[in-house]
Amino acid sequence: MNDFDRLSLELKLRNFSQKTVKAYQFRVNRFLSSIGKPSVEVSDLEIKEYVAGLLDREEPESVSQAISALKFFYLSVHKRDLVIPYPERPRSLPEVLTVEEVRRLLSAEDNLRHRLLLELLYGCGLRVSEAVKLPWDQVNFEEGLLTVREGKGRKDRHVMLPVSIRAKLKSYLDARSDDSPYVFNTRSGHLHVKSAQNIVEDAARRAGIKKNVTPHTLRHSYATHLLEAGTDIRIIQRLLGHSDIKTTQVYTQISTQLIKNVRSPLDSV
Domain 3-78, CATH homologous superfamily name and number: Tyrosine recombinase, N-terminal domain (1.10.150.130)
The third-level CATH classification (topology) of the domain covering 99-260 is hpI Integrase; Chain A (1.10.443)
Of 190, 219, 220, 225, the active-site residue reads 219
Average pLDDT along the chain: 89
Q: Which of 48, 78, 152, 157 is catalytic?
A: 152
Per residue in 94-108, pLDDT (tens digit) is 889 999 999 999 999
Percent of all residues in the chain with a pLDDT value above 70, rounded to a whole number: 91
Q: Report whether 232 contacts 137 (CB < 8 A).
A: no
pLDDT at position 153: 57
Cβ neighbours for 122, distance < 8 A, ≥ 6 positions apart? 102, 106, 218, 219, 221, 222
Does 216 qualify as catalytic in the annotation?
yes
Annotated catalytic residue within 27, 114, 127, 190 = 127
Q: What is the pLDDT of residues 19-51, one digit of tens each?
A: 889 999 999 999 999 988 999 999 999 999 999
Question: Mean pLDDT over residues 162-181, rounded?
Answer: 92
In the chain, domain spans:
3-78, 99-260
Active site residue 152: yes
Better pLDDT: 250 or 115: 115
d(CA 129, CA 120): 12
Residue 158 annotated in active site: no
pLDDT in tens, 187-241: 889 999 999 999 999 999 999 999 999 999 999 999 999 988 888 889 999 999 8
Please tell me the predicted confidence (pLDDT) of residue 260: 65
Give the model confidence (pLDDT) of 48-92 as tens digits. Answer: 999 999 988 888 889 999 999 999 999 999 999 999 999 887 667
Choose from 13-17, 136-140, 153-157 the range with maximum mean pLDDT: 136-140
